[in-house]
Structure 1
Amino acid sequence: MITLKNNVLTVLIDEMGAQIRSVKKNDVEYMWQADPQIWKSTAPLMFPICGGLKDDKFVYEGKEYILPKHGFARNMPFTVEKADDTSAVFCLKADEETRKMYPFEFELRLIYNIENDALTLKYEVKNVGENTMYFAIGSHEGYYTPEGIEDYDIVFPQNETLNSVMVDGNLLQDHTLPIIKNTNVLPLYDKYFLVDCLVFKDVKSKSLLLRNRRKGKSIKIDFPDAAYLVLWHPHCAPFLCVEPWSGIPDDFHSDYNLAHKEGITALSKGEVYTAVHTITYIGEE
């Protein structure tokens, strides 16, 4: 476990999956603490896909590959390339195990940095192979809501009209559920998550506040490079996952070709993809 610490935040990051395990500000925990009876993770990384594939598979150059929901990075040990008091670099490289699921040569780095009350994650994906690689990447942080999520709102910096794409198992359906119309506040209700999650393809905002409407306690989440936003919450559990993703799950119309997948990123030989994601722990106002 790697510890980052300044005079405001203490952050614990697990080498397994390069996953945030704890963020404390003034000794107050802000992250879900991975109760295995509910959800054993805290903030897993989604790579090289976000969500699921149709039949958990894709076809590349005539060969079929089985790739589990959210990919494999969250379940693999990362190498710590650098660590000091306020920053750390974690790296995962393609190997024999990853090639069984995903036939591309890559180097994936997560660069963590804390400054004042903000934690910044920078994702770097480098194609070190000969062929174009196809991937998506995203976060899955679980924020602790001890009062229950119905005391919380999602507040956007601009008005939004959001319709959630309905989910059946791992796959997106062809119809949507209206959530908010021309407002910047999304009040959270357990009923939204009875089936699965909220999947938004049409968010204009590139940041949001997770705000406790009674206490004023807030977490600001910036995701300038994400194309999609997912919210997930096990029914009545005391946490909410806010998930900015570059990609999106398959729908029933998938032809199994990764290059045709909605939201997929194509990276040519030698190219490097970068994305930044910042979490600011504002606390109680």
Structure 2
Amino acid sequence: MFSIAIQQQQYKTYILSDETAGSHLEVVPERGGIITRWQVKGEEIFYLDTERFTNPELSVRGGNPILFPICGNLPDNTYTLNGKPYTLKQHGFARDLPWEVTDQLTTDKAALTLVLNSNEQTKAVYPFDFQVVFTYELQGNTLLIKQHYHNLSSTPLPFSAGFHPYFLAGDKNQLEFAIPSQEYQDQKTKEVHSFNGNFDFSRDEIDFAFGQITSQSASVTDHSRKLKLTLDSDDIFSLLVFWTLKGKEFYCLEPWSAPRNSLNTGEKLTVLEPGASYTASVKLTADFF
């Protein structure tokens, strides 16, 4: 049995449920369209810093923030278009703006559709007309995120897109990684290193970009929780970023369509012609064993 309930917490929160599977999803449209919570069999899959979440001045650290129209940051938060500089902060604006719920479905799955349209605020920093439509689908132990990017401008629309999921992990030394790449770039030093499947969690921060991925599927097994998480993404997501901080009970495995600064360099940037659209999906599966 599938259902969608609405709770007025600090923000209006949509709660998608698959009662048979014991899975639940919480979505807060006005706080960047974010999924704040995902439970499977009563277990929390996502981490959420609730103190930061309650402060609208701070970026959300937790759940599954949306990255659009850039992933990562730009040098001095600046890019140039047709000779004119624009300021765009890290990961873009989609995670900060309110999204509008346009559809709900509770037959065969629990699904919620949200829309972000360009407006004067977005065009001041990103001078394009666009519409982004996401549908979150909860069914059993899977979370599917369908995306539709539509260029409503009379000029080509350049963008990159991705997600920044925060996965809950109490003991990171109990994690086993299956990341389909043999090398990564340290995003701090820009050095490229070979990857043997392990991370040094004694470091204060790990910020690694895996750009040469050989598969669109990655997984992390948490032996302390007996949980295997699998991330499957469409071909547009050309790299995976792993990020974590020492002493924090989370790790992030982020599908990005293009690397940092692609709006300036053009590297792996997606460009939609006027009137064109692009669809993509990301699927997360949580298996307990």
TM category (shorter chain) comes to 0.7 to 0.9
Equivalences for residues 24-39 of structure 1 within 5 A: 24-36=39-51
2: CA distance between counterparts of 1:214 and 1:47?
Answer: 34
1: CA distance between counterparts of 2:206 and 2:220?
Answer: 19
SS of the residue 1:91 aligns to: strand
1:118 aligns with 2:129: no
SS of the residue 2:121 aligns to: helix
Unaligned runs of 5+ in 2: 1-12, 54-59
Q: Is the 8 A contact 1:52 1:68 kept in 2?
A: yes
1: CA distance between counterparts of 2:275 and 2:99?
Answer: 21
1:232 aligns with 2:243: yes
Q: Deviations over 1:64-116 (max 9, x none)?
A: 10000100000000000112330011100000000111011100111111122
Partner of 2:193: 177
Q: Is the 8 A contact 1:149 1:188 kept in 2?
A: no
Equivalences for residues 11-90 of structure 1 within 5 A: 11-15=25-29, 16-36=31-51, 40-85=61-106, 86-90=110-114
Q: Is the 8 A contact 1:151 1:188 kept in 2?
A: no
Structure 1 residues 215 and 25 mapped into 2: Cα distance closer, same or farther (>3 Å)? closer
TM-score normalised according to structure 1 size: 0.87
Partner of 2:200: 189
Partner of 1:183: none
Partner of 2:232: 222
Identify the match of residue 119 of structure 2 among 68, 79, 95: 95
CA drift of 1:35 comes to: 4.2
Q: Is the 8 A contact 1:190 1:236 kept in 2?
A: no
Equivalences for residues 237-276 of structure 1 within 5 A: 237-250=248-261, 258=263, 260-276=265-281
Partner of 2:57: none
Q: Is the 8 A contact 2:104 2:113 kept in 1?
A: yes
Partner of 1:104: 128
Q: Deviations over 1:139-193 (max 9, x none)?
A: 11111112x211101125xxx552221223xxx73x312222xxxxx234314x5
Q: Is the 8 A contact 1:110 1:123 kept in 2?
A: yes
- 1:104 is matched by which residue type in structure 2? F
Identify the match of residue 167 of structure 1 among 161, 164, 187: 187
Q: What percentage of residue pairs aligned between the two structures are identical?
A: 23
Q: Deviations over 1:228-255 (max 9, x none)?
A: 10011111211111101101112xxx8x
Structure 1 residues 116 and 161 mapped into 2: Cα distance closer, same or farther (>3 Å)? closer
Identify the match of residue 151 of structure 2 among 127, 130, 140: 127
- 2:120 is matched by which residue type in structure 1? E
2: CA distance between counterparts of 1:281 and 1:164?
Answer: 25
1: CA distance between counterparts of 2:245 and 2:102?
Answer: 35
Q: Deviations over 1:14-62 (max 9, x none)?
A: 1121111111112111110224479633211000000011221111122
SS of the residue 1:98 aligns to: helix
Partner of 1:282: 287
Q: Larger relative contact order (C-alpha < 8 A, sep ≥ 6)? A: 1
CA drift of 1:200 comes to: 0.7
1: CA distance between counterparts of 2:181 and 2:178?
Answer: 13
